[in-house]
Amino acid sequence: MKYFILLLKVVIFIALVLIRLGEWDISGLYAGSKYRDALDYYVFAIAGIASFLMFLDFVQFTAVWWYRRRHKVRGEDNFIIGVSHIYSLLLAVGIIVGILSLFKIQARELFTSLSIIFAGFAILTKDYISNMINGMIMTFSGQFSIGDNIRIGQHRGKITDITLQNIHLLNDDDDIIYIPNNVVLNSEVVNYTKRSIKRTSIEFDIDLKHLKTVEDLEQSLTEALVPFKDVIKPDSYYLRVAEVKKDSVSLKFQYILKEPNKDLERQIRRRTIRRLVEIISDREKFVDKIPELPDAPGHAVI
């Protein structure tokens, strides 16, 4: 069916080109009409618009087909998304110019006469246009693709779509976050998927009073993930001190999954956080049981 539709489009396209070039005269269908001259104009105009749109469709189809066949790509990637963005822009321009031609308005003359208005319109929509340009840059840059797990500022998640206006992120809470393309290009982006070692990190802060030693905390968190030992590489657990603050410590608990799996990462994160809550709760109970010593010479206040 797909190839039949393609063949039908080719036949229609050839017919439209022949009409546009005057090689196929269909004026006999309305030869007796008093509106023959007007009908001739609209037939040629509509044939020109339709042939341009179908040609644009052929170019997009051919480019995507060639790319898929050469790179053996299934689904969508950055190049295919970029081609679809270019197609959408050219399609919009073609439709606008086509509508103007139906009203016998020359686009060049219109833009020249309304240049001041269009300049003001461009200033008002500069952010929108900038987003579109940045979206095109990102789709062809290859820095990140749909399905990559990235962090932009405070937001972390999987890229579900890249449009001309924003990037769609699916975070761990299954919330869709829309980040404008301008913000992405002006922010530091961490791409966890592009790393040669697919190490997963769980970041958290812990109060110093709840931390006995880093080694004990690492051992406790590692023991909590024993049910996942078959999917986590042995000896890949590592609790790293990211920053030491006045009353707390920023830590990163890292491990490497044998196979990337978003659902498993979510389950492991949930179990790790619950284990941290248990550790903090136990430390709170321990601190509460310590008796207070009176302030006196020779005695230290805890």
Q: What is the 3-state secondary structure (H, E, C) of the chain?
A: CHHHHHHHHHHHHHHHHHHHHCCCCCHHHHCCCCCHHHHHHHHHHHHHHHHHHHHHHHHHHHHHHHHHHHHCCCCCCHHHHHHHHHHHHHHHHHHHHHHHHHCCCCHHHHHHHCHHHHHHHHHHCHHHHHHHHHHHHHHHHCCCCCCCEEEECCEEEEEEEECCCEEEEECCCCCEEEEEHHHHHCCCEEECCCCCCCEEEEEEEEEHHHCCCHHHHHHHHHHHCHHHCCCECCCCCEEEEEEECCCEEEEEEEEEECCCCHHHHHHHHHHHHHHHHHHHHHHHHHHHHCCCCCCCCCCCCC
Q: What local confidence, expressed as pLDDT, does residue 167 receive? A: 92
Q: Taking all residues of the chain, what is their mean pLDDT, rounded to a whole number? A: 79
Structure tokens given for 79: 């190049």
How many angstroms separate the CA atoms of 39 and 32, rounded? Answer: 11
Mean pLDDT confidence for 131-145? 82
Q: What local confidence, expressed as pLDDT, does residue 299 receive? A: 37
Nearest alpha-carbon partner for 182 in 130, 120, 258, 251: 130
3-state helix, strand, coil in the chain (%, to 5): 55, 15, 25
Looking at residue 62, its amino acid is T
Which one has a higher pLDDT value, 114 or 7?
A: 7
User: Is the confidence at residue 38, as pLDDT, over 60?
Assistant: yes
**Under CATH, to which class is 199-289 assigned?**
alpha beta
**Domain residue spans of the chain:** 2-113, 146-191, 199-289
**Cβ atoms of residues 222 and 237 within 8 Å:** yes
Mean pLDDT confidence for 206-226? 87
User: Is the confidence at residue 195, as pLDDT, over 80?
Assistant: no
Q: What local confidence, expressed as pLDDT, does residue 302 receive? A: 30
Which one has a higher pLDDT value, 56 or 37?
A: 56
Tally Cβ neighbours within 10 Å of residue 31. 9
How many angstroms separate the CA atoms of 52 and 95, rounded? Answer: 10
In which band, very low, low, confident or very high, does the pLDDT at 102 lie, cut at 50, 70 and 90? confident
Mean pLDDT confidence for 213-233? 89
Mean pLDDT confidence for 34-60? 78
Q: What local confidence, expressed as pLDDT, does residue 82 receive? A: 86
In which band, very low, low, confident or very high, does the pLDDT at 122 lie, cut at 50, 70 and 90? low
Angle at 21 between CA 15 and CA 22, to 5 degrees: 90
Structure tokens given for 245: 């603050």
In which band, very low, low, confident or very high, does the pLDDT at 295 lie, cut at 50, 70 and 90? very low
**pTM, two decimal places:** 0.58
Same fold, 146-191 and 199-289: no
Nearest alpha-carbon partner for 199 in 273, 259, 255: 255
Mean pLDDT confidence for 156-169? 89
**Under CATH, to which class is 146-191 assigned?**
mainly beta
Q: Above pLDDT 90, what percent of the chain? A: 3
User: Is the confidence at residue 98, as pLDDT, over 70?
Assistant: yes
